[in-house]
Chain A
């Protein structure tokens, strides 16, 4: 879309439930915000750390982590990288995590502002069942406060820590997680292990493609 055809440089593009992405038509840059959401200690930061290690060559910048001394995410982790070009547009992916601790909901909401796509990371440990459900419900409410809908925004489920099975730790079977979290949403899901890297990249690729497609639909 050359500039002389479309005189607008910044364009609001409605994605999903009314969120507006910014597409710079002059420099042909699209900034895509993807948030890893889920209960405390489910493995969100570990996902980003793995991606950061795996794609070191393509990531120009250090991962930014705002955490407490105890290594808990205080505000967010942030990892920017360039995806390359799609239809002449340079795609800049920005990965964020939210802090998981219950009392940090106001910060979680801040991070969700302007989100384009979400990975919901659930902890497969049996004892985390309630927490996963509560966290997903809160995501739903937080999105509503931005007039965004969990049913419309690009979303991927990740059932993390499946490696724990091998150590005899009780984990939830995938069909139970599907029932609990994904029976109404019906979004793509992955069993994963952020610590070994199993399906971390698959999850990332899936959310990026869902998100970019949803933005593209409105753009072209």
Chain B
């Protein structure tokens, strides 16, 4: 997928999808990164206190590691990853081979609800992405 060139309009649409599908329902923060650890876009509720670039570097490393583990045990991929904490949780989902969607959310959202919304968001994002010249 040629995701390198994304128009202003497309990026705004993608940010809107992240808001409508995730942030609006109380997800604290949604980030799209590439597998090299670059931040593509961030949508959050403004309460972010951590360094987003360090987070992206670790997240890309984490995902790459799990991917390599999958291949070792004969899986093509573990396309979904979830880390559960005391107060916050992190959910990773692949958009395509190069892009990752990461959601951070607290106790008031169920994993099932989040997963459903992530799947819908990714479907919509892929459509926006596909519409490029």
Residue ranges of A at the interface with B (Cβ–Cβ < 8 Å): 3, 7-12, 20, 22, 25-26, 31, 33, 60-62, 64, 66, 75-76, 78, 80, 92, 94, 96, 106, 110-111, 113-115
Given A7-B8, A8-B7, answer yes or no on A22-B61 (Cβ-Cβ < 8 Å): no
> Which chain B residues border A22 with CB–CB below 8 Å?
4, 34, 38, 40
Q: Please tell me which one of the listed residues A3, A10, A115 contacts residue B5 in the complex, with CB atoms under 8 A apart.
A: A10
Expressed in whole angstroms, the Cα–Cα distance for A127 and B61 within the complex equals: 33
Residue ranges of B at the interface with A (Cβ–Cβ < 8 Å): 2-11, 34-40, 51, 53-54, 57-58, 61, 64-65, 68
Ordered nearest first, which 6 A-B pairs have the shortest CB separation? Answer: A114-B36, A12-B4, A61-B51, A80-B53, A10-B6, A9-B11
Q: Please tell me which one of the listed residues A8, A61, A113 contacts residue B6 in the complex, with CB atoms under 8 A apart.
A: A8
> Which chain A residues border B64 with CB–CB below 8 Å?
110, 113
Q: Tell me the minimal C-beta distance from A37 to chain B in angstroms.
A: 15
Given A8-B5, A9-B10, A26-B8, answer yes or no on A64-B58 (Cβ-Cβ < 8 Å): yes
Closest to B7 in A: A7
Q: Please tell me which one of the listed residues B4, B40, B57 contacts residue A78 in the complex, with CB atoms under 8 A apart.
A: B57
Contact yes or no, B6 A114, CB < 8 A:
no
Besides the known contacts A22-B38, A66-B61, 19 further A-B residue pairs in the complex with CB atoms under 8 A apart = A7-B8, A8-B6, A9-B8, A10-B4, A10-B40, A11-B4, A20-B4, A26-B11, A33-B36, A33-B37, A33-B38, A61-B51, A62-B54, A76-B61, A78-B54, A78-B58, A92-B53, A94-B53, A114-B38
Q: Tell me the minimal C-beta distance from B52 to chain A in angstroms.
A: 9
Expressed in whole angstroms, the Cα–Cα distance for A75 and B63 within the complex equals: 13
> Which chain B residues border A64 with CB–CB below 8 Å?
54, 57-58
Contact yes or no, A94 B37, CB < 8 A:
yes
Closest to A96 in B: B57
Q: Tell me the minimal C-beta distance from B29 to chain A in angstroms.
A: 16
Q: Please tell me which one of the listed residues B2, B34, B51 contacts residue A60 in the complex, with CB atoms under 8 A apart.
A: B51
Q: Tell me the minimal C-beta distance from B62 to chain A in angstroms.
A: 9
Expressed in whole angstroms, the Cα–Cα distance for A31 and B54 within the complex equals: 12
Closest to B39 in A: A31
Closest to A32 in B: B38
Centre residue among A10, A31, A92, A114 by max chain B CB count within 10 A: A10
Centre residue among B2, B7, B39 by max chain A CB count within 10 A: B7
Instruction: Provide a sorted-by-A list of 25 A–B residue pairs whose CB atoms are within 8 angstroms.
Output: A8-B5, A8-B6, A8-B7, A9-B7, A10-B11, A11-B4, A20-B4, A22-B34, A26-B8, A33-B36, A61-B51, A61-B54, A62-B51, A62-B54, A78-B57, A80-B53, A92-B53, A94-B57, A96-B57, A106-B68, A110-B64, A113-B64, A114-B34, A114-B37, A115-B36
> Which chain B residues border A110 with CB–CB below 8 Å?
61, 64-65, 68
Expressed in whole angstroms, the Cα–Cα distance for A45 and B4 within the complex equals: 32
> Which chain B residues border A10 with CB–CB below 8 Å?
3-6, 11, 40
Expressed in whole angstroms, the Cα–Cα distance for A62 and B50 within the complex equals: 10
> Which chain B residues border A66 with CB–CB below 8 Å?
61
> Which chain A residues border B6 with CB–CB below 8 Å?
8-10
Given A9-B10, A11-B4, A106-B68, answer yes or no on A113-B54 (Cβ-Cβ < 8 Å): no
> Which chain A residues border B68 with CB–CB below 8 Å?
106, 110
